[in-house]
Amino acid sequence: MKEMFLPSTIAKLLGNQTFRADSIGMSSAGVFIYDNAVLKVQHVSNETTNEQLMLKFLSERKLAPDVIVHEVVDNTDFILMDKCKGKMLCDRELMNNPSKLMEIASGVLRKLWSIDIASCPVDMSLKYKLKLAEYNVTHNLVALDNVDPSTFGASGRFQDPYHLLKWLVDNQPREELVVTHGDFCLPNVFFDGVSAKVIDVGRGGVADKYQDVALLYRSLRDNLRGCYGGEYLGELDDQMFFSVLGITPDWDKIDYYILLDELF
């Protein structure tokens, strides 16, 4: 593997340790897994700034790994953090037991939702999130090869990202604000048999609780269907999903927040 540049502080800590590159997930960041640490390398952005704030905020509450070193060099962000113990929620053993998986996921969400939003350092409510979405659309940053086929195009619901953005602005739902993860998908939650921790929190902050409910619903549904290269394991039991979460489904909000995520 090609040798990569590391800031001197991080290089000294890692020494001659070997690593493997993570291939799971949709992030454009480089993620390198060492024995007891994980190094995340990405271009500096609003998301990397938010990630630093949210990692510190959530690690203090035992919900995210501790940051060992954070460095920015030549517009590149380097985060060296503790390695989460356990398995991702998309692990086959957990996927074969969706009700257990949901108990774990709902436990994390309840802890997030119980935090006083006034203490959270990041605002991800719709007023701000839609500005970020507008930036992505106007700067051609929407990954059109990574969206649901039914979203855009001749047979899609929307002509293009501009059309979707206008619909999102015109149809904003009333928000029930809580502390959210922001990208609450199965690969972003680790469980060690006792407790769970989250990673990739750059889109986290104060937002509607359905930001997390919607993306968890999509992630579990699609993973069960084998959409990410796995085998088909069945259909998601909607009643079980919402029963474990303890909420009545708002399908309009689920649709809204899944569509909003298409612009990120």
- How far CA 176 is from CA of 51, 105, 106, 219, in Å, comes to 22, 19, 17, 22
Of all residues in the chain, the percent with pLDDT exceeding 70 is: 98
Q: What is the pLDDT of residue 43?
A: 95
Is residue 26 very low, low, confident or very high in pLDDT (cuts 50, 70, 90)?
low
- How far CA 223 is from CA of 27, 28, 51, 220, in Å, comes to 17, 20, 25, 5
Note the pTM of the prediction, 2 decimals. Answer: 0.94
3-class DSSP assignment, residue 253: helix
Q: What is the pLDDT of residue 231?
A: 92
Of all residues in the chain, the percent with pLDDT exceeding 90 is: 92
- For residue 4, is pLDDT > 80? no
- How far CA 6 is from CA of 49, 62, 255, in Å, comes to 19, 28, 41
Mean of the per-residue pLDDT values of the chain = 95
Convert the pLDDT of each residue in 139-164 to its tens digit: 999 999 999 999 998 889 999 999 99
- Cβ neighbours for 201, distance < 8 A, ≥ 6 positions apart: 50, 51, 54, 55, 58, 64, 181, 182, 183
- For residue 168, is pLDDT > 80? yes
Work out the average pLDDT over 45-68.
97
Give the count of alpha carbons within 13 A of 45, CB side only.
Answer: 14
The span from the CA of 236 to the CA of 11, in Å, is 44
Which H or E run includes 41?
strand 37-43
Convert the pLDDT of each residue in 192-235 to its tens digit: 999 999 999 999 999 999 999 999 999 999 999 999 888 999 99
- For residue 256, is pLDDT > 80? yes
- For residue 1, is pLDDT > 50? no
Which H or E run includes 77?
strand 76-82
Instruction: Specify whether the CB–CB gap between 193 and 109 falls below 8 A.
Output: no
Q: Please count the other Cβ atoms lying within 10 Å of the Cβ belonging to residue 132.
A: 19
